[in-house]
Structure 1
Amino acid sequence: MDDLAGFLRTRRSRVDPGSVGIPTDSRRRVEGLRREEVAHLSGVSVDYYVRLEQGRATQPSEQVLDALARVLGLDETEHGHLYRLARQRRPRAKAPGGRVRPEVLRVLDLVIDAPALIMNHRLDALAGNRLARLLFGRPMPGLNIARHLFLEEAEGGLYADWDNCTLDVVGHLRLAAGKHPEDPRLASLIGELAMASERFRRLWARADVRARTHGHKTYRHPLVGLLELHQENFALPDEAGMELLVLSAAAGTSAEDGLRLLAGLDTESADARPTMNAQAQIRE
């Protein structure tokens, strides 16, 4: 799903030579840095760096990885991703499971004024409260945010900032692929998206990684209109890969009024407590 060689190549191509003190002129045909330039700036031999980019080198040391991260201008998320990719040959633990503890589901049901859901590393919605179900217009178990975004929703649909959402989702899946390279379900999802979505293929080829723990999210709900919300992600202790996502509205805003209107919609045919049915829905 991901590899050290490919990641190094994409990062190398994005470094401005001038930013690392290398003069350029109109005759330069290489985009970004040359391999020998990365090797020189990192303090490793050209032969060793070439073998890294060809996937033939043994696991690089921490010093080499730190030097490469510095030269390539990696941020903290990309730096950690580099470390994980360099150590993929080590035995990996089984991918996180998909069962949500009943105690967590009870906490989820206590969130009544904001959409809230439990998400795993594949962006499967394992459970959600009533407002989450109303926001997405469907039960949470069975919803995958990446599939929903790329294959079911188009620009102009539920996701008002569709372009940025696609960047976030692909960056998250790239990061997850580095953490869980032996997860067959994740590999299958990535393959499905790559086959069906040209935009996904283009973004995946960039090899960007993103770790989003909070930020602005805007939804265009067909019944209540525009909802400008704040997403906060909370990692669940002892539940590797799972997060609680809460989408809140600032007090006194139209989004707060919109969530109140959403909560008051007729839900007679809906299950008022979908989360308590979620435990048995997601299995490895």
Structure 2
Amino acid sequence: MNKLTLLFFIILVFVFTNSKAQITTIEEGFETTDSILPPGWHKVNNAVFPISANPDVNWTVRDSGEYCPGLANALTQSHNGTKSVGVSWWASIDTSGQGGDGVADCWLITPQITGVNNNYILKFWASGGSASYSDSIQIWGSFIDSIPSNFVYLQSVFWPAGSVYGQFQEYTVDLSGLAFGTPVYIAFRYYMDCAVDGFFVFVDDVYIGDPTSINTIGSEIPERYALGQNYPNPFNPTTRIKFDIAKTSNVKLTIFNSLGQVVKVLQDGVLNAGYYEAEFDGSTLASGTYFYRLEADAYVETKKMLLVK
């Protein structure tokens, strides 16, 4: 192998290995696969027993309208499109057809995500439970690896008995606690004592990323710094904030709660002179009064806005 060929091979390996790792945003509707998980996703049975010989009781992508394992008459449901990923209470049954210890422990784990910052959130649509049985899932995160024992608990979703089967709701989880500059994994954990409860949980339309966007408006240069009133106001859950930068500056745009605590930093770095608009998503925040402050060069201004859910 001559030097030129060797150099070309090294470059290819470098590009390939780095491009595989650089997933910064996940937007997954589970529409491109059937019976298997999307590339990079995987499932783990973390129970103390091997589960049913039917592997589809653990997290599996299905077409809506198909019969669900463990349910006599219920069909697969989806929020959007024709598919979703779901897990059955039958994950509590071992390979002999017995009840195991009755506790299902099934993990659905995302691909590795890089570039997580303080604005990152997880949004997803989910449905669980039925008229007779409660259900739940837990959200976990890891900045070590994708082994369940290295994840930390973030949040739970619970559906009480009396829930409407197949009725989806959107949920939002703040991921700022995982923003340590290292790659992270997110997991959906189905941990249910199915000797008592448990039915079927569907998850669909998963988004992981930074919903904050800073956009340039036009190409003109403003004469002075300015901070506009957000619109709409009141808002739920998103609003837009316009601001003007008179010359290239270090710019910081920060959201505070009524106690003066920082809840979001929308911009913190150099921006060229121009007119800008930032989008703020308050999905993870409670209703109330919030303040936003623009700092650029010697210019500082603060305005008030109202989140009403």
The structure that is helix-richer by fraction is 1
Which has the larger Rg?
2
Q: Which has the higher contact order (CA 8 A, sep 6+)?
A: 1
TM (normalized to structure 1)? 0.25
TM (normalized to structure 2)? 0.24
